[in-house]
Amino acid sequence: MARPEKRTTLREVAEATGLSTAAVSYALRGKQVSKETEERVRKAAADLGYEADPIARALASGRTSMIGVLAGDLQDLWQQHLMAAIGRELLAGDRYALILDAGGDPARELALAKQLRDQRVDGLLVSPVDPSAEGWSKIADTVPVVSIGDALSRARTAGEVLFDNRAGIDAVLDYLRGLGHRRVTVLTPTGPSTPDRPADVYVREAADRLGIEVEVLPCAQELGEATAVARRVLAAGGGGAAGGDRGAVGDGGLAGGDGSVAGGGRPNAVFCFSDSIAYGVYAAAAEASLTIGRDISVVGFDDHPVSRVLTPPLTTVDWGLTDIAKEAARLAVAAIEGRRVRRKRILCAPRLSERGSALRVPE
């Protein structure tokens, strides 16, 4: 193993054909050479098994054919799915996705973005944890950036595939209100270091407007952690929610009732800002012998495929993942190639998939 067996180089092809390296370089890229020599060169290259060295090419040209893809938090199953889709999309266009995970940490996110730029990625696709961070500006000035989800408010991006979070949140709160809910617990992936995510801010506004009382609690995406948070929320019972003091762990007790919410009051409604978090609620509910869609209402966000396999299927907000991946890739590639595009800002409309995890509050 590890016998690097010298690759054939451009020079060797040049010698074999009696041309200069420049001519060969052009020929192989089909530029300013006669059809005739192009053929000849191509054949020689094939015979010698020549393939351009991407690194040398990158150093000389400044381009790598790699696109950095920075996920805010890959613990989120939906983001995993999105990254996979983006990777496929880019690969179809002969580009590589260099996928990195910020793990929900805004500082790390910016650091990784810089590292990607240093790796000379041709472009950067980012699903930001902290879209309003100052640092994006400098990065977006150095490399074409396409943001997915929220807009990078401080940066001049090359494109945006935005989710209409306001409309999505409105739709969900409206829906819950229509079912009779007046108190809703919101579980958001936002960490303590990023208190002002657009969705978090907006959900309070919307709730106020609709006369709904919300309690917004932070929650990790990873199933175990999400379950732990959900456990506390459910244990708090009734229409309210767990204490806002995130340090406190609650009493660890579960809702005592079997088939009815502890306290016997109005059913709890939990609005999760990602389906992954909602799965934690399903897990915690099962532990507490609460039936989702009867004893408690749950609504997700983003619509991961498995959400429809749960019992009951999870009511959630769908943005159309496939199109998102396609559009994001398209925008990035267009920017890289210096092409002008009609719309650099795509706004995805929410589709509320009503599936049975939320119940009507009995009179």
Partner DNA sequence: TTGAAAGCGTTACCAT
Partner DNA sequence: ATGGTAACGCTTTCAA
Confirm or reject binding of residue 101 to a second copy (CB under 8 A). yes
User: What are the residue ranges of helices labelled H in the chain?
Assistant: 10-17, 21-28, 35-48, 54-61, 77-92, 106-118, 136-142, 165-178, 198-210, 223-236, 275-287, 321-336
- How far is 109 from 71, CA to CA, in rounded Å? 8
- How far is 153 from 10, CA to CA, in rounded Å? 45
70: helix, coil or strand? strand
- Interface positions, 117-156, toward a second copy (CB under 8 A): 118-120, 140-144, 156
Confirm or reject binding of residue 49 to a second copy (CB under 8 A). no
Confirm or reject binding of residue 48 to a second copy (CB under 8 A). no
Confirm or reject binding of residue 36 to a second copy (CB under 8 A). no
- How far is 34 from 37, CA to CA, in rounded Å? 6
Shortest Å, Cβ 347 to DNA? 35
Confirm or reject binding of residue 97 to a second copy (CB under 8 A). yes
Confirm or reject binding of residue 305 to a second copy (CB under 8 A). yes
Confirm or reject binding of residue 174 to a second copy (CB under 8 A). no
Q: Where on the chain is the footprint of DNA (CB under 7 A)?
A: 6-7, 9-11, 18-23, 25-29, 32-34, 36-37, 50-53, 56-57, 59-61
Confirm or reject binding of residue 259 to a second copy (CB under 8 A). no
Confirm or reject binding of residue 18 to a second copy (CB under 8 A). no
Closest CA to 95 of 343, 324, 337: 337
Read off the tokens for 270: 């939990």
Closest CA to 76 of 107, 106, 113, 102: 102
Confirm or reject binding of residue 223 to a second copy (CB under 8 A). yes
- How far is 12 from 289, CA to CA, in rounded Å? 72
- Residues forming contacts to a second copy in the complex (CB under 8 A) are 1-5, 51, 53-56, 58-59, 62, 64, 66, 74-75, 77, 80-81, 83-84, 87-88, 91, 96-101, 103, 118-120, 140-144, 156, 158, 223, 279, 282-283, 286, 305-306, 308-311
